[in-house]
Amino acid sequence: MSALFSDAYAQAQDAADPLLALREQFLIPKHDGRDQAYFCGNSLGLQPRTARAHVEEVLEKWAMEAVEGHFTGQAQWMPYHELVREPLAAVVGAEPSEVVAMNSLTANLHLMLVSFYRPTRERPAILMEAGAFPSDRYALESQVRFHGFDPATDLIELEPDTPDDGSSSGIFSMASIARAIAEHGPRLALIVWPGVQYRTGQAFDLAEIARLGHAAGAVVGFDLAHAVGNLPLRLHDAGADFAVWCHYKYMNAGPGAVAGCFVHARHARTERPRFAGWWGHDQSTRFRMGPEFSPTPGAEGWQLSNPPILGLAPLRGSLELFARAGMPALREKSVRLTGYLETLIRQRLAGTLQILTPDDPERRGAQLSLRVLQGQGLQGREAGRSLFEFLARAGVLGDWREPDVIRISPAPLYNTHADVMRFVRAAEAWRAA
């Protein structure tokens, strides 16, 4: 047991890591002259070293060629979004035609709801998880109201099996999700569920949720903000109708990065209504500038405007690293790192930290959500804030989520066993102070 809690063990694990060299491909913030132990990849991923080169390539082309940059060179701007299409499809387990990088997450969610939330008097309801990321709830509630229905009855928020009331974890069982779908099935127009719940870090069986939802006659969509680049996703095989996500977390594409969207191939050509824009028009006739909208088949048909090239450029750099590593290898390392973190917390910090995230690696990604029980004579939220601020002063950066959760996320592209060791030692130092 004690051997795990040693520099020699952590260093040996890192030395044997086949992905260790990828860490050198990221710019890691410094703290007192050494690398920070950065555990915020679930909030903002680190900058790939190649991001600057891709951005500067766009700036140079703009400076030297101006409008002609749309049509010249391998990275010409007119089809620039196509440069990320196939590598992005590989990350999310989709066909290339099923994915597109565009807009922001919530904007994409609204665009998807225009097409896939078609409530009727008999089926007006949306099922979502209680405690969802606020932007999702705002979007879904506003859509229910927009269609003339009442969120009090038609926005169904499933509570976790053990509500997150300050003493329990707030985890959803698959059985509770299945019961909710069965109970509300005749009224359900739509299910919107996360791939990973942002506060607890719980991961969900997307294929089973899609199967249950479709069997009940509902459309199914996913918010994958905390799942993309974190878990191996098989979106096409899972069968959801649509999914949306951002690229600034595990995908390392920079603050406010261009987001992503998935539309299943069965909807590649659909009569469902949509909000249309010229970049979603069939590219073979787009520049004829005709008055009738003819959508590009696949996810690209939901585009509105030509994409921000400077915003897409960093995503290219990150996707190159994902292609180099491969999601299976990243997932294997993630399981090891997060498991090491869990083991050390249970061995060294029992009674100080409560792990809210499920124990089963199949039900979590690269995140442990922690509640501080006590320390330094403090309890609850006060203890949590005290530890969080102590960690930051020690160069160990996690993420705080109200009311009392510290999220520690060892991202396999750049975090190490030594980083995990540093977190545990800092937490012990706080407790002992």
Per DSSP, what are the bridge partners of residue 220?
Answer: 191
3-class state of residue 87 by DSSP: helix
How many distinct helices (H) and strands (E) make up the chain? 13, 19
Measured CA distances, 36 to 50, 394, 405, 414, 416 (Å): 20, 9, 21, 11, 12
- Three-state DSSP class for 125? strand
d(CA 255, CA 249): 9
Burial class (CB in 10 A: 0-12, 13-18, 19+), 15: exposed
Is the separation of the CB atoms in 337 and 410 below 8 Å? yes
Query: What are the structural domains, with CATH classification, of the chain?
Result: 2-35+326-432 (3.90.1150.10), 58-324 (3.40.640.10)
**Neighbouring-strand partners of residue 47:** 27
The tens-digit pLDDT sequence of the chain (433 residues) is 468 888 899 999 999 999 999 999 999 999 999 999 999 999 999 999 999 999 999 999 999 999 999 999 889 999 999 999 999 999 999 999 999 999 999 999 999 999 999 999 999 999 999 999 999 999 999 999 999 999 999 999 999 986 554 445 689 999 999 999 999 999 999 999 999 999 999 999 999 999 999 999 999 999 999 999 999 999 999 999 999 999 999 999 999 999 999 999 999 999 999 999 999 999 989 999 999 999 999 999 999 999 999 999 999 999 999 999 999 999 999 999 999 999 999 999 999 999 999 999 999 999 999 999 998 888 889 999 999 999 999 999 999 999 999 999 999 999 999 999 999 999 999 999 8
Q: Nearest Cα to 337, choosing from 49, 39, 44, 45?
A: 39
Question: Contact at 8 Å (CB) between 397 and 318?
Answer: no
Angle, in degrees to the nearest 10, between helices 49-65 and 309-325? 140
Q: Residue 378 forms beta bridges with which residues?
A: 375
Helix (H) or strand (E) holding 112: helix 105-116
Q: Which two tokens stand for residue 180?
A: 């909710």
DSSP secondary structure string for all residues of 342-408 = HHHHHHHSTTTEEE-S-SSGGGB-S-EEEEE-EETTEEHHHHHHHHHHHHHHTTEE-EEETTTEEEE
In the three-class reduction of DSSP (H, G, I as helix; E, B as strand; rest coil), residue 300 is classed as helix
Burial class of residue 57, CB neighbours in 10 A (0-12, 13-18, 19+): middle
